[in-house]
Amino acid sequence: MNNPLTNGDYLDWCLRQEVFAERLYEELARRPEVAEADRVLLRQLAAQERDHITSLQFVQRLLRLAQELELAFELTAEQRQLLAACERETAGVKPAELSLAQGYALDKRMEERFIEVHCLLEQTTGNKELARLFRQLRTGDQEHFEALLRLLGRAGEPAPAKTGPA
C-alpha cells in the first residue's frame, strides 16, 4: 500500500476485498456438506457484501464528482500492516480450492480485519462521507463476524469470544 493513500486507491482496495468476500460466501454456500440453514445464512452474507460493494461504488461516484478521489491521507504503520495482511491473505486464493473449514476461517479473519481497518479509517479520515461509509461498513462487518461465529459453533468448532469495537 502506498503512503499517502488516495481516497480512490483505498476505495479500489475495499472493492477488491468485498468482491473476494462475496465470492467466498457464495462458494461456501454451494458446498454439499453445508446444512441448508447455513447455506441460507451464507447467501445472506454474500448479498450483504453486494450491498457493501454498491455503497462503495456510490461513494466512489460521489467523490469522483466532487473531485476528491485523488485526495490523499496518511496511513499509520498499524493501518498499513492491517491492509497488507488482508491483501497477503487473499492473494492468489481461489475460494473453490479451500476446504469448508479453511473458507470459514478465512472469512472470520477477513471480517475481523475489516472491522479494525474500517474503525481506524473512520477515526482518521477528514471526509464526512467516507467516515459515514467506514462506520456503515464496520457495523456490517461486525454483523458478518457474529454470523460466522454462529456458523463455526454449529460446525463443531468452539466459538471464540466476540472481538472488535462495540
Q: Could you give phi then psi for residue 89, rounded to 5 degrees?
A: -65, -30
For 94, the grid coordinates are: 481461489
Tell me the H-state helices in 31-65.
36-65
Domains belonging to the chain, first-starting first, are 5-154 (1.20.1260.10)
Q: Which of 65-69, 140-144, 150-154 has the lowest mean pLDDT?
A: 150-154
What does pTM read for this prediction? 0.80
pLDDT of residue 128: 78
Q: Could you give phi then psi for residue 133, rounded to 5 degrees?
A: -65, -45
What pLDDT digit, counting tens, does each position of 105-127 carry? 898 888 888 777 777 777 767 77
What pLDDT digit, counting tens, does each position of 17-27 carry? 989 999 999 99
pLDDT value at 8 more than 80: yes
pLDDT of residue 1: 63
Split at pLDDT 50, 70, 90, the class of 161 is very low
What pLDDT digit, counting tens, does each position of 25-46 carry? 999 999 999 999 999 999 999 9
